[in-house]
Amino acid sequence: MTESATGGAPSSGRGRPRLLTVGDRRRRLLDAAEELFLVHGYHATTMADIARSAGMSKKTLYQVFASKEALIEALLRDRFLPIMLPVEDDGARPVAEVLTDLLRHLVTFAVGPRQIALARLMIVEAPLSLEMATAFDHLGLNRGEGALEQWIILQTERGKLNISNPQEMSAILFAMVAGDFILRSLLRLADEPEHELIEKRIKYAVQLVMDNATNARLATGQALTSSRPQIRK
């Protein structure tokens, strides 16, 4: 089988190879970049290395990604996308149930082999490369941005939660349920987190949120009662 140097798909030897779409090229370049970064490091990998590994020319590579910084930012955004996507919630399910499922999904995703490998890469390379640190910062994960924050905002707007700073709360919740497991995975202290411990941690975090919501409603009710004019008999 042969492959076009400009990014064509493999051919069977008959006729011209099918040209890849921009999306196909993008995926192939991201896969090649990820593999090279994890093996050789971000700093040591050149754009020429990535183009060669993807079977494309440097010209084609730069048509898709204008710079190495743009490529690493696209790679991190693509690989961490599930944490960023909004949660589908029509309000029919109990808040505690949806939050439990959301936190479980985030923890499971965060300690996945690919995410842990990329996290190790960022820890090692960020001090050596400003664009690596900048790319991670643009994601906003370190500030609690993403699916959890958006969901908290939605529930607050619906009046089901009373959280004044959704971004701060999402960062706290994520650190509470996932931080320890991520650290242990980064240090290779555990191949897989204990599911029972994860569920226990999630249950505790959800209970804190729901207790806060209940206390806020009680405080609001008491304030309304005390503000009502007293009727003299």
Instruction: Tell me which of 39, 60, 79 is where a domain ends.
Output: 79
The CATH number covering residue 45 comes to: 1.10.357.10
CA distance 213 to 221: 12
CA distance 161 to 153: 9
Q: Are residues 21 and 96 in the same domain?
A: no
Between these two residues, 10 and 113, which has the higher pLDDT value?
113
pLDDT tens digits, residue range 31-40? 999 999 999 9
Q: Is residue 226 part of a domain?
A: no
Residue 123, Cβ density class (10 Å: 0-12 exposed, 13-18 middle, ≥19 buried): exposed
R_g of the chain computed on alpha carbons: 24
Give the chain's mean pLDDT. 84
Q: Is residue 227 part of a domain?
A: no
Q: Are 185 and 116 in contact (CB under 8 A)?
A: yes
Q: Is residue 187 part of a domain?
A: yes
Residue 198, domain extent: 83-221
Q: How confident is the model at residue 20 (pLDDT cuts 50, 70, 90)?
A: confident
pTM of the model: 0.76
CA distance 2 to 212: 62
Instruction: Tell me which of 31, 59, 79 is where a domain ends.
Output: 79
Q: Are residues 101 and 149 in the same domain?
A: yes
pLDDT tens digits, residue range 116-162? 999 999 999 888 888 888 888 877 666 656 889 999 999 999 999 98
Instruction: Tell me which of 55, 79, 103 is where a domain ends.
Output: 79
pLDDT tens digits, residue range 164-193? 899 899 999 999 999 999 999 999 887 766
Q: Is residue 11 part of a domain?
A: yes
Between these two residues, 73 and 137, which has the higher pLDDT value?
73
Q: Are residues 100 and 8 in the same domain?
A: no
Please provide residue 6's backbone torsions phi and psi, each rounded to the nearest 5 degrees: -100, 15
